[in-house]
Amino acid sequence: MKPTDAMMAAGPASALPLPADWRDFVALTKPRVMTLVVFTGLCGLLAAPVAIDPVIGFTAVLCIALGAGAAGALNQWYEADLDAAMRRTRGRPLPAGRMTREAALHFGVGLAGFSVWLMALAVGMLAAAILLASILFYVLVYTVWLKRRTPQNIVIGGAAGAFPPLIGWVAATGRIELLPVLLFAIIFLWTPPHFWALSLFVRSDYAAAGVPMLPVVAGVRHTRLQVLLYSLPMAAGAVAPWSLGLTGAIYGIAAAVLSAVFVLLALRVALSRTTDPAEMIAERRLFAYSIGYLFILFGALVVDRLVG
């Protein structure tokens, strides 16, 4: 057997290759990111005006989770060098030397193929096709093409994370309609202010790794302004399902209040002048709020559809 990274990870005295632990395969799927993906996918499924068999519904959400996990694994396979250069990510299985790149690639491709195959077999071809498109978009368009080349990586790449509610809806109904497209648009517009808030206080990490994130390329001040500018269409998009009569007042009021707070926090970011990451309270607050924002917004949508 040829020597591998995992053998080296086991230490110079080790005579046997130590295979990666199963927990490292779980870590490769980015379980924290997957939480939001699964939740928005489930909300898309529950918001659809069609009753779906619980087993098929569960399978659809499982496929969304596995597809997201596969995309995360392939992202980590491709970005092992970047992850090793960043404090936030150097403990991941590949840069930490607990897993070989080959194992990560096989796991990612296998999981992606399985998730799409299962979705096609159990749920439907259209849902499977969108799932495949979302995986390919995240891996090829965002990870391989955009991330290392342009500060617009997050803007365009944000589409990858916006697919789950659309997939959930299509899994239930079998067709694409206006509401799930708006849900796609909300996450698409939410991604830039969410990620730029994070990248403001970890910009030295991105700079060290050579990733052209907006704060590294255009500066902190310009990024703060962009955070505010993107939060405005995001807020409009969040309220749009209500103003177009596609949802009831529960969702509408929740969207209006949550989005107003989001814009307010984005305004505080735009007005902030500190350059010390340790003192970037407004940025950290917006980043934390943006996660809760999406959870509550989509939760309100489901409540609205179930109650209304």
Partner 1 sequence: MNPPSDEDLLRARQRSRSIATALVLAALVILFFLLTIAKMSGR
Chain contacts with partner 1 (rule: CB under 8 A): 10, 13-19, 21-22, 53, 55-56, 59, 62, 122
Q: Which uninterrupted H or E stretch holds 22?
A: helix 22-28
Q: What is the distance between the alpha carbons of residues 251 and 248, in angstroms, rounded to a whole number?
A: 6
CB of 288 to partner 1, least distance (A): 33
Cα distances (angstroms) measured from residue 286 to each of 227, 262, 270: 10, 7, 11
Query: Which DSSP string corresponds to 186-200?
Result: HHHHHHHHHHHHHHH
CB of 161 to partner 1, least distance (A): 26
**Closer by beta carbon to partner 1, 15 or else 307:** 15
Query: Which DSSP string corresponds to 148-186?
Result: TT-TTHHHHHHHHHHHHHHHHHHHHHSS--HHHHHHHHH
**Closer by beta carbon to partner 1, 12 or else 245:** 12
CB of 6 to partner 1, least distance (A): 10
**Closer by beta carbon to partner 1, 22 or else 273:** 22
Whether the CB-CB separation of 62 and 37 falls below 8 Å is answered with no
CB of 77 to partner 1, least distance (A): 19
Cα distances (angstroms) measured from residue 67 to each of 24, 112, 129, 155, 193: 17, 5, 12, 21, 25
**Closer by beta carbon to partner 1, 9 or else 236:** 9
CB of 56 to partner 1, least distance (A): 6
Q: What is the distance between the alpha carbons of residues 127 and 248, in angstroms, rounded to a whole number?
A: 26
> Can you give the C-alpha Rg of the chain in angstroms?
20
**Closer by beta carbon to partner 1, 40 or else 59:** 59
CB of 129 to partner 1, least distance (A): 20
**Closer by beta carbon to partner 1, 11 or else 245:** 11
